[in-house]
Amino acid sequence: MKIIMLGAPGAGKGTQAKQIAGKYSIPHISTGDIFRANIKNGTELGKKAKEYMDKGLLVPDELTCDLVVDRIGQDDCKNGFVLDGFPRTIPQAEALDKALDGLGEKMDYAIDVDVPDESIVKRMSGRRACLDCGATYHIVSIPPKQEGICDACGSKLVLRDDDKPETVQKRLDVYHEQTQPLIDYYKNQGILKSVDGTKPMEEVFSNIVEILG
Ligand code: AMP
């Protein structure tokens, strides 16, 4: 099963993607996580990506497409994968379709986790992330067991630079301009499904499972 998660930054698509990956035993591929791992390891890609990420802008397609195309060609993706945060532009979607076409495959579902902008801004200011292992929390809806400390690895939790209110508004503008057109792109392909992302996390997940079967 090959799934794309769509939705504004902070809509909860990452949380849902992880659960889908667990339930269907397929890899969770998050371009944001890949960039953050590169930043942490001080790679050239990380240095370039950080300049854009800190401003709430998208990392250019030429730095993004090849790394996803390589990743989905790996052995563990043979039975499918769930893409989280990719594609984010029409050229990225076209690059993905082209790569899959070359493998004689196509995407099965694009799931839009729909949340209005006002709720997003509220949510993102409560988000906390572990920069060591990538786990994410929310001070109200998914609190860590011990405040400010990652359950998974014990590191300190932080408000990511790109989750700060001034950056969030910029990311929402970028989302509406560059990513929202993908909704029509996948509607035209007949694979778009929408879920109400304002519902509690468990309910959103069961709605997704109903769709995926
Ligand atoms: P995320 O964790 O998915 O919210 O991504 C965090 C940041 O990484 C985004 O705001 C972008 O700057 C960058 N990023 C992640 N995925 C992509 C992508 N597919 N295309 C361009 N930039 C991306």
Q: Of 2, 36, 88, 123, which one is the catalytic site residue? A: 88
Active site residue 145: no
Respond yes or no: is residue 128 known to be catalytic: no
The string of DSSP codes covering the chain is -EEEEE--TTSSHHHHHHHHHHHHT--EEEHHHHHHHHHHTT-HHHHHHHHHHTTTPPPPHHHHHHHHHHHHTSGGGTT-EEEES---SHHHHHHHHHHHHHTT----EEEEEE--HHHHHHHHTTEEEETTT--EEETTTB--SSTTB-TTT-PBEE--GGGSHHHHHHHHHHIIIIITHHHHHHHHHT-EEEEETTS-HHHHHHHHHHHH-
Q: What pLDDT does 167 receive? A: 87
Place of tokens 């709720």: 119
* pTM of structure: 0.89
Contact between 88 and 178 under an 8 Å Cβ cutoff? The reply is: yes
Ligand 1 atom at minimal distance to the Cα of residue 85? 3
Q: Is the pLDDT assigned to residue 162 strictly greater than 90?
A: no
Question: Is 171 an active-site residue?
Answer: yes
Amino acid identity of residue 39, one-letter, is I
User: Is 88 annotated as catalytic?
Assistant: yes
* Percent of the chain clearing pLDDT 90 (strictly above): 85
Ligand 1 proximity of 39 Cβ (cutoff 6 Å): no
Number of other residues whose CB lies within 10 A of the CB of residue 55 = 14
> What is the length of the chain?
213
Confidence of residue 79 (pLDDT cuts 50, 70, 90): very high
Catalytic site includes residue 50? no
For residue 166, pLDDT over 90 is answered with no
Mean pLDDT for the stretch of residues 155-172: 90
C-alpha–C-alpha distance, residues 33 and 23, integer Å: 20
Confidence of residue 165 (pLDDT cuts 50, 70, 90): confident
Whole-number pLDDT of residue 35 = 96
Reported confidence tier of residue 148, pLDDT bands at 50, 70, 90:
very high
Share of the chain above pLDDT 70, in %: 100
**What is the predicted pLDDT for the residue at 103?**
87
**Nearest residue by C-alpha to atom 8 in ligand 1:** 32
CA of 85 to the centre of ligand 1 (A): 6
* Chain position carrying tokens 């959103």: 204
List the catalytic residue out of 13, 36, 123, 128: 13
Q: Is pLDDT of 156 > 90?
A: yes
Q: What is the rounded distance in angstroms from the CA atom of residue 17 to the CA atom of residue 30?
A: 9
pLDDT digits (tens, 9 = 90+) for 113-145: 999 998 998 888 899 999 999 899 999 889 999
- Determine whether the shortest distance from the Cβ of 86 to ligand 1 is under 6 A: yes
Q: Indicate whether 25 pLDDT > 90.
A: yes
Instruction: Verify whether ligand 1 is closer than 6 Å to residue 31 (CB atom).
Output: yes
The terminus-to-terminus CA distance of the chain in angstroms comes to 11
Ligand 1 mutation target, pool 13, 58, 61, most atoms within 8 A of CB = 58
Distance 171 CA to ligand 1 centre (A): 9
